[in-house]
Structure 1
Amino acid sequence: MPKIGLIGFGKAGKAVANVILQHPDFTLDFVVRKGLKQEYYSVRDFIGVETDDPALIYSIEHIDIETFLDDHPVDFIIDFSSQESIFYYGESAARRHIKLISAISHYDEKTIEFLKHLSQKTVMFWSPNITLGVNFLILAGRILKKIAPWADVEIVEEHFKLKKGVSGTALKIAEILHLEDEQINSIRVGGIVGRHEVIFGFPYQTVRLIHESVSREAFGNGVLFVASHLTDKETGYYSFEDLLGPYFQEKENDGLC
């Protein structure tokens, strides 16, 4: 059974841990977080899930990552922490051929180059939004943009009131669809987990592609979908397009796309 180590234990990290603990085909071996809060506490007790997973919480302030990964061998490390964390554990994990899954919403160019460097030693996967649904939306949007490159396109992204900056997912959608940042419209109200809409405006009709996360547990479902598809992958740099693309390819026998 594949073992998972989780980096980060904020709102998203807790939701992801909850999903992993309840999945019969994966084991949550540990959680590493920045602060000292809940250090050495059991994740299963914290969340209230019946499981045999060890899943203890550790603080980076009290561990040496080299020794820690030797003492806690895992198959995957999943990152829901911060942009800087990959520099803390990345090299150590890659040398041990631990597969890396990053769900950080935004990386600068320097960090992306570092991810590609790590991909020379292990499987490195990054998606600004780890939910399966939003990545299906992106692929569907690409297909529609190819069919009708002349259509008017706008992106609307909605998140909780305190979220700062433009959604990393919206920026990624804009990049893939060759849109300008000015075509992204941001709304910050209440406690919206995350909603992305791509609007295609045609003469006499409108097409709307919408994805909404109703719970952060959706990130956990996405993580395990990715992990299950990376199990047999060779060393390299992967995105959701690499995993979903084959599903869109024409089947020789059934004629479906």
Structure 2
Amino acid sequence: MEIGLIGFGKTGKAVASVLLQNKKITLKWVMKRSSTLENRTTAEYLGIDSNETGKIYSSETTPIAELLDKQPVDVIIDFSSASGIYSYGEEASIRKIKIISAISHYSNKEKEFLKSLSKLTTVFWSPNITLGVNYLLFASKFLKKIAPWVDIEIIEEHFKGKDGVSGTALKIAETLDLEENDINSVRAGGIVGKHEVVFGFPFQTVRLIHESISREAFGSGVVFVAENLKDKEEGLYNFEDILSPYFVA
């Protein structure tokens, strides 16, 4: 499977390192905004012993259409920004390239754009692409179904300086029919990401916790999603679509 990566910040670099070390995947190229690192190979820059020759390109000097024509890929993975989808979405969709977006926050405008792209190609979006968080979502949903009257609080912890409420926490709240004010946010040090769902029963408490130890967890999630999207037709998918078959007895 040949992959192109959009976005090369801290998380993008961690994802690239996981992809480079997976023998079933070829990281064909990385596209970033600025021209810094342009034309360097990803493996060499990250100090990874890999035969992959995927180069780093800049959107300032290389049009995405030109890159997709010269170096076509099966899947584009997006770890850039909420507006990044506009830079490649149409060009990818008309070429039937699958899109995996791991952007935390999208406005309704971007969500509608994803829907329009999904009419032409396979599109996947999850505000948190780690497998563990999405397992937590599944477990939380089933527990509330068993006890719909239970008290629920969400606690999300992230690194100091992270703006806004975690997109993952908002997704958990949405799944459990809770409001944003049911989310308690903590910002301290270099916490990668921790989400906890507290179920308050009479005389007992159940806590479901997921913690990302390193950003490589996002890379493992990307690989899982990409492998499960191989045979998916056009449409807009989320983690529930991918995980549901695993829960069928």
TM-score by length of 2: 0.99
SS at match of 2:60: helix
Q: Which runs of 4+ in 1 moved over 3 A?
A: none
**Using the alignment, how far apart are the partners of 1:113 and 1:237 within structure 2?**
11
Name the structure 1 match of 2:207: 208
Deviation string 1:31-56 (CA, Å, 9 cap, x unpaired) is 00011111111110111112221211
Query: Could you list the runs of 5+ residues in structure 1 that have no partner in the other structure?
Result: 252-257
In structure 1, what residue type is equivalent to 2:132?
A: G
Shift of 1:247: 1.3
Name the structure 2 match of 1:139: 138
**Using the alignment, how far apart are the partners of 2:213 and 2:32 within structure 1?**
25
1:144-155 superposed matches below 5 A: 144-155=143-154
**Using the alignment, how far apart are the partners of 1:12 and 1:50 within structure 2?**
20
Q: CA RMSD in A?
A: 0.6
**Using the alignment, how far apart are the partners of 1:42 and 1:72 within structure 2?**
15
In structure 2, what residue type is equivalent to 1:170?
A: A
Query: Could you list the runs of 5+ residues in structure 2 that have no partner in the other structure?
Result: none
**Using the alignment, how far apart are the partners of 2:225 and 2:64 within structure 1?**
24
SS at match of 2:119: coil
Name the structure 2 match of 1:81: 80
Name the structure 2 match of 1:217: 216
1:53-132 superposed matches below 5 A: 53-132=52-131
In structure 2, what residue type is equivalent to 1:231?
A: K
**Using the alignment, how far apart are the partners of 1:100 and 1:45 within structure 2?**
26
**Using the alignment, how far apart are the partners of 1:64 and 1:190 within structure 2?**
38
**Using the alignment, how far apart are the partners of 2:11 and 2:51 within structure 1?**
22
SS at match of 2:66: helix
Shift of 1:160: 0.2
Deviation string 1:128-166 (CA, Å, 9 cap, x unpaired) is 000000000001000001110100000000000010100
1:233-252 superposed matches below 5 A: 233-249=232-248, 251=249
In structure 1, what residue type is equivalent to 2:61?
A: H
How many residues are treated as equivalent by the alignment? 249
In structure 1, what residue type is equivalent to 2:154?
A: I
